[in-house]
Structure 1
Amino acid sequence: MEALLHYVWKHKLYANVSLISSDGSPITVIDPGMHNTDAGPDFFNAKIKIGSQMWVGNIEMHTYASQWNKHQHQKDKAYNSVILHVVEYVDVDVVKTQSGQVLVQLALEIPPAIKENYANLIQKDSPLPCAQKIRDIPEIFITDWKNALLTERLEKKTEQIFAILEEYKQDWGQAFYITLARNFGFGINNDAFERLARSLPLKIILKHSDSVLQVEALFFGQAGLLADNNEDNNDDNEDNNNKEEDQYAIALSKEYAFLKNKYSLQPLEGYLFKNLRIRPNNFPHIKIAQLAALIKSQPFLFSKIMETTEIADLKKLFLSQLHPYWLTHYNFSKSGRAREKNIGLSGLNIILINTLVPMLFAFGKKRADQVFMQRALTIIESLKEEQNSVTQLFANAGVKIHNAGDSQALIQLKREYCEKKKCLYCRIGHKVLLKSLNNA
């Protein structure tokens, strides 16, 4: 319950009619300080009055006062700046800092209504414990929270892009290519597609971007999907001798053998790419073919994105035609009647949401250019909302989802707050707890 103690202190929600230290001194909180979630005291730069004396310094909190010594704070110079030890239970009368200072201790009372409702939230076996309470919260409040959550999500993706940039010496084209490839994995194959892109540098592909045969040979060969005319690794295998000879796959294999030797490439294992529980149009062979077609048609896609401002024109950049072979194939072993397998509208939306928007946002942040960051936000708010289990969960609870910015915000909320039981850090959770206090 220490996290709840932090919450009550931060928002001044304590049940105490008046704050009295364990030695009988009255305490007035002028400023609870800045919450610290890293190592060191729990709150920095608090301002309090103990008796008639004003103090400015740090606050440390524990459920039990004895945890001060248990955590070895009495030996740590980092805690010499602590001016008040706030606890729920004073089970030892005296605690000292490393410098020998005896600390004033305060037993803080958590309001019973908050304690009870918090326990209900974190212990409830539900993907959305506050579902029954959300409808009572004003929409404008939830809208503000969604806006903040969207920024949080883009900041998180920006950190991932910056990490790739650091790894590849600030090469934005390579970082974009890796991010783009990852998102062609459409969830289940994201990691495999990222590994594929990392194993096949963009500069090699660009040298052969005038030949669809060579581009596909590089991608499929590096993916390990050309060996023995390799088919879907997750379907029931058939005897290779019974397979229909596939001339296109043979041509790709021959081309890849030459390119592999030329560039000293090390292919992945084909089993990394999964077909189970996904629609045929999202099979890895089809997504790799789409990725290859896109890079073949737009070898300098990142540069064009930076120069294009209209959303309709941006969407056109991501449209490309697959090699005719893929009209009748989902992999290299099975053919069927001709069906269009180019990137559809929903697939395009996913690529724009997860690749284009984060890259624009990251580019703007890196350059301290608000124009690119705002463009990213404008684009995502113009895209149709995603349809998935997370958006359905919140829609059922009465949350309105207007665009892809909202759906991304709710994914951030679900993954970073709901699943981690961080109700105390969630604005909706805060509102629910405040309401329980007001109704007590």
Structure 2
Amino acid sequence: MDEQFLHYIWKYQKFDSSDLLLTDGQSLKVFNPGNHNHDSGPDFEEARIKIDELEWAGQIEIHINSSDWYHHNHQNDPAYENVVLHVVWNEDKTVEVGGSPLPTLELKDLVSHQLLERYQNHIQAPTEILCQNQLSKISSLTIRSMMDRVLVERLEEKASRILDDLSKNKNDWEESTYRALASNFGFSTNKEAFIRLTQILPFAKLKKVLQSEKQTESLIFGQAGFLEKGSDPYETELKKEFDFLRKKFQLQEPMISVQWKFGKLRPANFPTVRLSQFASLLTHQPQLFSILTQTKNIKELKKALITPMSSYWQGHYDFGKPRTRISKTIGNSSFENILINTIAPLLAAYARYTDDQLFMDRAIELLESVVGESNRITKKWNDPNMQIHTAFDSQALIHLFKNYCQKRKCLQCNIGVDLLNK
């Protein structure tokens, strides 16, 4: 038995509700089970019930054993003072609130054994995606509604991280855009190193030199710790510039190059190449946040974000190491990655900040305009009912897998509930 199942039982009233009696013998009628609360506090809010001849409106708390009320320390939490009904699988202890017994409904003799067995068989299936082989039983409308829901959840989750960062830098959207973009350019391998770079090279100082390509590169590569070898003439030029600018802007101690990872990366993904691309974008688009919020379609965004790298980095993948093939800009896949993981979340964050749904709609439209991702998670959804066409689909299914399937939260998922109801 687990509380997730009990929440489902109560929410959908999946028990014998005829002639309900509380554990103290009083009659119970349920007019409204309440709204499921996924935050802190009692499990259901705004419920309406009738105990004997008296109607009550308030909160419902659910536990496996009634004694969990005390184990969870609810007796000392004012948030639980308005609970009007305690719903439990098993009453092993009388609970008192304000010196009076708390009305309690015990479910263990009211729930169908077949329903319980069906849930246990489902939740104990030895697969990562428990409903993988049953999706054909689910209507496309149910699947689509769940994907709509989890896509918004994923954008909200990413938006929360951006808004948290925004609150730490005095609501400076340019700074937060700079940090979010840097994290994206690091991808999974060098994400932490890029984040560290933005901490020791604030955008407020970097933007003072963005009119100069060489000065921008000198600050970025210098603070990243890549100007110490001196084995290349261009590196020497940047080092001279960096030494002057570091003193001028009173910058923190630079990183060391070993903090950046090169192993198992193709030269095109080396951190030195990513840093050069990052520098190029910032010098060509110093007002990046304004562009992201004002540009309305993917064609304009692509034109703004795919900028030419400096002549040196078009022909090199590290200092003193020439490329065999010239590369002038970031690739289309990198652009789409930035759109999915930086631009869409930034627009979602701005939608919350301004309370303007327009920006959330724009974020969703952008995800619908690019091809879906193919990675280890999306490949798990090997089912005709879960075809991935756009980034909307792939982002939704990534979130569904991480936050519902892996955590066995089937009863918080429209698909899982639909299967159990069948």
* TM-score strictly above 0.5: yes
The corresponding residue for 2:99 is 100
Does the 8 A contact of 2:8 with 2:411 survive in 1?
yes
Task: State the distance in 2 between where 1:42 and 1:108 align.
Answer: 16
Question: How far 1:30 sits from its partner (Å)?
Answer: 0.9
The corresponding residue for 1:238 is none
Cα distance change of structure 1 residues 128 and 339 upon mapping to structure 2, 3 Å threshold: farther
Question: How far 1:268 sits from its partner (Å)?
Answer: 2.1
Cα distance change of structure 1 residues 112 and 378 upon mapping to structure 2, 3 Å threshold: same
Q: Name the % identity.
A: 41
Cα distance change of structure 1 residues 296 and 415 upon mapping to structure 2, 3 Å threshold: same
Match status 1:354 vs 2:341:
yes
Question: How far 1:75 sits from its partner (Å)?
Answer: 5.1
Matches of residues 14-413 of structure 1 in structure 2 within 5 Å?
A: 14-15=15-16, 18-74=19-75, 76-92=77-93, 94-97=94-97, 99-109=98-108, 110-229=111-230, 245-266=231-252, 267-332=254-319, 334-340=321-327, 342-396=329-383, 398-413=385-400
Does the 8 A contact of 1:88 with 1:107 survive in 2?
yes
Does the 8 A contact of 2:297 with 2:366 survive in 1?
no
Does the 8 A contact of 1:380 with 1:404 survive in 2?
yes
Task: State the distance in 2 between where 1:264 and 1:281 align.
Answer: 33
What letter is aligned with 1:96? E
The corresponding residue for 1:233 is none
Question: How far 1:284 sits from its partner (Å)?
Answer: 0.9
Task: State the distance in 1 between where 2:366 and 2:112 align.
Answer: 45
What letter is aligned with 1:8? I
Query: C-alpha offsets along residues 65-105 of structure 1, whole Å, 9 cap, x if unaligned?
Result: 2333444444555433222221111223x3211x1111222
Question: How far 1:385 sits from its partner (Å)?
Answer: 1.0
**1:45 alignment partner, SS class:** strand
**2:386 alignment partner, SS class:** coil
Does the 8 A contact of 1:286 with 1:341 survive in 2?
no
Question: How far 1:140 sits from its partner (Å)?
Answer: 2.1
Does the 8 A contact of 1:132 with 1:397 survive in 2?
no
Task: State the distance in 2 between where 1:362 and 1:72 align.
Answer: 35
TM-score normalised by the chain length of structure 2? 0.92
What letter is aligned with 2:187? F
Cα distance change of structure 1 residues 80 and 325 upon mapping to structure 2, 3 Å threshold: closer
Task: State the distance in 2 between where 1:46 and 1:380 align.
Answer: 38
Task: State the distance in 2 between where 1:133 and 1:341 align.
Answer: 48
Does the 8 A contact of 1:274 with 1:284 survive in 2?
yes
Task: State the distance in 1 between where 2:122 and 2:179 align.
Answer: 39
Task: State the distance in 2 between where 1:174 and 1:357 align.
Answer: 17
The gaps in structure 1 that reach 5 residues or longer are 230-244, 436-440
Does the 8 A contact of 2:140 with 2:385 survive in 1?
no
**1:288 alignment partner, SS class:** helix
Task: State the distance in 1 between where 2:304 and 2:154 align.
Answer: 25
The gaps in structure 2 that reach 5 residues or longer are none
What letter is aligned with 1:382? S
CA RMSD of the aligned region, Å? 2.2
What letter is aligned with 1:67? D
Task: State the distance in 1 between where 2:389 and 2:358 align.
Answer: 23
Question: How far 1:336 sits from its partner (Å)?
Answer: 4.3
Query: C-alpha offsets along residues 138-195 of structure 1, whole Å, 9 cap, x if unaligned?
Result: 1222112111111111111221121122112111111111111111112222222122
Query: C-alpha offsets along residues 254-289 of structure 1, whole Å, 9 cap, x if unaligned?
Result: 221221122121212323322233333222111111
What letter is aligned with 1:284? P
**1:56 alignment partner, SS class:** strand
Cα distance change of structure 1 residues 78 and 165 upon mapping to structure 2, 3 Å threshold: closer
The corresponding residue for 2:413 is 426
**1:382 alignment partner, SS class:** coil
Question: How far 1:6 sits from its partner (Å)?
Answer: 1.6
| Deviates most, 116-125 or 253-262 | 116-125
What letter is aligned with 1:424? L
**1:330 alignment partner, SS class:** strand
Cα distance change of structure 1 residues 16 and 280 upon mapping to structure 2, 3 Å threshold: farther
**2:322 alignment partner, SS class:** coil
| Deviates most, 348-357 or 306-315 | 306-315
Cα distance change of structure 1 residues 250 and 357 upon mapping to structure 2, 3 Å threshold: same
Does the 8 A contact of 2:185 with 2:194 survive in 1?
yes
Cα distance change of structure 1 residues 336 and 381 upon mapping to structure 2, 3 Å threshold: closer
Question: How far 1:123 sits from its partner (Å)?
Answer: 3.8
Query: C-alpha offsets along residues 376-411 of structure 1, whole Å, 9 cap, x if unaligned?
Result: 222221111111122211244640222111111112
Query: C-alpha offsets along residues 328-347 of structure 1, whole Å, 9 cap, x if unaligned?
Result: 43222533423326211111
| Deviates most, 7-16 or 160-169 | 7-16
Task: State the distance in 1 between where 2:80 and 2:294 align.
Answer: 52
Task: State the distance in 2 between where 1:262 and 1:80 align.
Answer: 60
Cα distance change of structure 1 residues 360 and 67 upon mapping to structure 2, 3 Å threshold: closer
**2:100 alignment partner, SS class:** coil
